Structure 1
Amino acid sequence: MQHPVLLDKYLQGMEVEIDAISDGTEILVPGIMEHVERAGVHSGDSIAVTPPINLNNHMKQTVLDYTKRLAKALKIKGMINLQFVIQNNCVYLIEVNPRSSRTVPFLSKVTKTPMVQIATEAAMGKTLCEQGVRCDFMPRSDIYAVKVPVFSFSKLIEVETSLGPEMKSTGETIGLDESYPKALYKGLVSSGLAIPADGNILVTIADKDKDEAIPVIRELWELGYSIFATEGTANALKRAGVLVTQVSKINEKSPNLLDLIQQEKIHLVINTPAKGKQPKRDGFRIRRAAVESGVHCVTSMDTARAVLEVLKTISFKITSL
């Protein structure tokens, strides 16, 4: 073809990631990682959990089958990383990387598998069998491990904080526990997200996200949090029966939402981007004000739902963190 044309399509589904080791014939899969944030957020910026919590047996077997077939067809000897998206119970392949990935240290630690050593031996021609490694899938079901990204937005001036396809994290932490919510809680806290036991939450939600956001915000309100919102979001919440305090937008009368953030009257911000990420837009200024005031700002409803799950499930009282 003289002029190739690339066609792509966004699938709003659940993202799944696998790091595997192949000797060209046999394959070792220490674990499957499920991303909390849906496809569209860079895998390095996504919260990931292993073992997966929302994959049924058919989905697991499909991604494992695809992994084995691709590794064999590509004649991989060493590490291979694969990323999938699952929509309507169908598994789609996003990408295959014939190399190690940033999640190998995480998966090695939580599955107690020396992945780099095994992969190096395989790359040098030693089969998995010769290494005494049991092939196939090795799930660890006695403990949940959650990988949580760490960001350095407070140290970078005028950097957009909302998540997207560009990687922005500068590190990651691990939360381990027999309970998924507690493992998630440990990972969030160690990453720097101080989860308040009570207080004020400011929500400014894009129209496209309101239907999804309202049930989450309602449950936060029912847990005892005071909700503050700008006019559009406030009206939607009021129609849903949520008691909400309406606040002025930027450049409106004081105290407006920036005043509340800077005066430390807001303890958590939930903001989803609406019309771009230019520095002059209100959403950008809200997110930056939160970061610069030391207030955590959640920009994905998937992350907000994960935080809600922690707050609903953790039985002990969370003190200042």
Structure 2
Amino acid sequence: MRDKGFDTVMVNCNPETVSTDYDTSSRLYFEPLTLEDVLEVYHAEAAAGPVAGVVVQLGGQTPLGLAQALKDEGLPIVGTSPEAIHLAEDRGAFGHVLATAGLPAPKYGTATSVDEALEIARGIGYPVLVRPSYVLGGRGMQIVYNDDSLREYVAKATLASPDHPILIDRFLDDAIEIDVDALYDGEDLYIGAIMEHIEEAGIHSGDSACVLPPVTLGRAEVGRVRESTRKLAEGIGVRGLMNVQFALAQDILYVLEANPRASRTVPFVAKATGVQISKAASRIMLGESIADLRRDGLLPAEGDGTTLPPDAATCVKEAVLPFKRFLTQEGEVVDSLLGPEMRSTGEVMGLDTDFGSAFAKSQLGAYGGLPNDGTVFVSVANRHKRAMIFPVKRLADLGFRLMATEGTADVLRRNGVRAEVVRKHSTGRGPDGEPTVVDLIYDNQVDMVVNTPESQEARADGYAIRASTTAMDKPIITTVQELAAAVQGIEAQRAGTLRVMSLQEHAEQLRAGRAS
């Protein structure tokens, strides 16, 4: 916006972020993002000259919650209006937008008591995703598999009331989650990117690895995502950026949520596609059109983030999860199991010619990399045993030594894969001192662990395995989708196909590909 001649004023309550660099804005205020504090900043700035507008779409969820109150105080909100923000943020209003557009969403309900919660969950069908209302970062969200677990959750949750109901959604098992960043000016839609999550739906998007362009979605699915995104942007009334999360399950494209703001994926999208999407969004908020931005060269003259050049690099975003640095109240390592509550504290990006190489780089950046050889311990839930056979067999073909608990080892053996049976942590050492899997991990005899839980409830064996792996700084994989990606990454590492490319070189290749 400074490039367009405006003085820009940043209000940020978090001095740790790069948006508080001294040269980002004309003036920077370290103040809490509350109505009172923002109004004080506005009045101080208004005394120095007229305020052209207030931007609330580039600061996460908290500024969206202030939009209506700021407008009520007379502040000019630019871009998406507070009324449009309400359509996306309010569960009932958003449901009406979806119904009008003919877009499916998972069944849901709201409960203010244990009995209501049980009735809704039984009507939807287990498993369900439950969460308190008005939370950030998925805090307090949990996947619940039965009545007893739901009763326990409601008892632990903040006291349910008509003002703060518990939200209950159908959980889509084995669904592919899709993230979309898009620009809309009231007429034209520009898809910044369609990203495919590597982990299944149900894991918070901030903790999920994702890949751009998507690696398993065909043109038909991409077309459906594009059309659904357009309907949502029109129905909500977006002017600027919008992030949408979809889930593809049994060939049905469900809308999980739509946020009329920048998502945490926007910086990743800008680097991966070579388009300054935040800058373009700011210009749209000030009244310019997507057609204007194409003429100015800020957006590609043709196509968008779904029409990258055929030889464009594959980019993987991986979350950094610092589990080893945090302890429970009992002094133990925090469980590394991924779920709907966000735990990541940062992100890295891996970029290369193919998915396996890019994923391997993302693991190098986040956790020090995947092993090229050694011993892999495998213990997966019954519902994951079929899906784990082929990637585990590939590890055996690559020369890895396999260890497994008895049930997993039996399934592998019946499929021609030999795995050494090791004792569970809960059974203790054998009569002749045979070690448990946790003993072996602490003895540095395991190089990577694959462990998926039977259910979201923490089990003693699973937690002990994951905690010991985290403590020993070894790679741990908790979903079968991530296992398949890791195998491709290991293959790329061993083939020696990883190459170095700067972001500048990547951006130049994109420009050249679009020009041709």
The alignment's TM-score, normalised by the length of structure 2, stands at 0.58
Residue 471 of structure 2 is aligned with which of 288, 292, 314?
292
* Match in the other structure for 1:64: 226
Note the C-alpha offset of 1:135: 7.2
3-state DSSP class of the match of 2:417? coil
Q: Measure the CA separation in 1 of the matches of 2:454 and 2:250.
A: 26
Q: Give ranges in structure 1 of 5+ residues lacking alignment.
A: none
Q: Aligned letter for 1:190?
A: G
* Match in the other structure for 2:350: 175
Residue 256 of structure 1 is aligned with which of 414, 436, 451?
436
* Match in the other structure for 1:104: 266
Q: Measure the CA separation in 1 of the matches of 2:288 and 2:261.
A: 17
CA spacing shift, 1:99–1:136, aligned 2, 3 Å: farther
Residue 208 of structure 1 is aligned with which of 372, 383, 386?
383
Q: Aligned letter for 2:269?
A: L
1:269 aligns with 2:474: no
Q: Aligned letter for 1:287?
A: R
1:221 aligns with 2:432: no
* Match in the other structure for 1:86: 248
Q: Aligned letter for 2:386?
A: D
Note the C-alpha offset of 1:104: 0.2
More divergent stretch after superposition (133-142 vs 285-294): 133-142
3-state DSSP class of the match of 2:484? helix
Q: Aligned letter for 2:232?
A: L
* Match in the other structure for 2:160: none
Q: Measure the CA separation in 1 of the matches of 2:476 and 2:313.
A: 29
Q: Measure the CA separation in 2 of the matches of 1:4 and 1:301.
A: 32
Note the C-alpha offset of 1:30: 2.1
Q: Which has the higher helix share?
A: 2
1:215-265 CA deviation, whole Å, 9 max, x = no partner?
221211111000011222222222222221111111232411111100101
1:141-165 CA deviation, whole Å, 9 max, x = no partner?
3111111111101101232211111
3-state DSSP class of the match of 1:79? strand
CA spacing shift, 1:312–1:159, aligned 2, 3 Å: same
Q: Measure the CA separation in 1 of the matches of 2:436 and 2:418.
A: 19
Q: Measure the CA separation in 2 of the matches of 1:207 and 1:130.
A: 55
Note the C-alpha offset of 1:311: 2.3
Q: Aligned letter for 2:345?
A: T
Q: Aligned letter for 2:454?
A: A
1:137 aligns with 2:137: no
* Match in the other structure for 2:25: none
Q: Is the 8 A contact 2:360 2:369 kept in 1?
A: no
* Match in the other structure for 2:323: 153
Note the C-alpha offset of 1:118: 1.1
Aligned residues: 316
Two-structure CA RMSD over aligned residues (Å): 2.1
Note the C-alpha offset of 1:85: 1.1
1:266-287 CA deviation, whole Å, 9 max, x = no partner?
0000001125444x71101110
Q: Measure the CA separation in 1 of the matches of 2:185 and 2:170.
A: 33
Note the C-alpha offset of 1:128: 2.1
Q: Measure the CA separation in 1 of the matches of 2:496 and 2:447.
A: 17
Q: Aligned letter for 2:399?
A: G
CA spacing shift, 1:91–1:29, aligned 2, 3 Å: same
1:188-231 CA deviation, whole Å, 9 max, x = no partner?
11111421111001111122211211222121111100001122
1:148-190 CA deviation, whole Å, 9 max, x = no partner?
1111011012322111111121111111112221111111111
3-state DSSP class of the match of 1:130? helix
Note the C-alpha offset of 1:84: 0.9
* Match in the other structure for 1:73: 235
Q: Measure the CA separation in 2 of the matches of 1:135 and 1:128.
A: 11
Residue 123 of structure 1 is aligned with which of 257, 278, 285?
285
Q: Is the 8 A contact 2:380 2:452 kept in 1?
A: yes
CA spacing shift, 1:193–1:39, aligned 2, 3 Å: farther
Residue 241 of structure 1 is aligned with which of 416, 421, 433?
416
CA spacing shift, 1:303–1:39, aligned 2, 3 Å: same
CA spacing shift, 1:315–1:233, aligned 2, 3 Å: closer
* Match in the other structure for 1:44: 206
Q: Is the 8 A contact 2:320 2:345 kept in 1?
A: yes
Q: Measure the CA separation in 2 of the matches of 1:95 and 1:275.
A: 24
More divergent stretch after superposition (169-178 vs 233-242): 233-242
Q: Is the 8 A contact 2:272 2:315 kept in 1?
A: yes
* Match in the other structure for 1:281: 460
Q: Measure the CA separation in 1 of the matches of 2:369 and 2:313.
A: 24
The alignment's TM-score, normalised by the length of structure 1, stands at 0.92
3-state DSSP class of the match of 1:308? helix
* Match in the other structure for 2:114: none
More divergent stretch after superposition (195-204 vs 227-236): 227-236
* Match in the other structure for 2:372: 197
More divergent stretch after superposition (300-309 vs 162-171): 162-171
Q: Give ranges in structure 2 of 5+ residues lacking alignment.
A: 1-91, 93-108, 112-119, 125-168, 328-332, 498-516
Q: Measure the CA separation in 1 of the matches of 2:273 and 2:417.
A: 43
Q: Which has the higher contact order (CA 8 A, sep 6+)?
A: 1
More divergent stretch after superposition (97-106 vs 200-209): 200-209
More divergent stretch after superposition (189-198 vs 133-142): 133-142
Q: Measure the CA separation in 2 of the matches of 1:4 and 1:229.
A: 42
Note the C-alpha offset of 1:4: 6.3
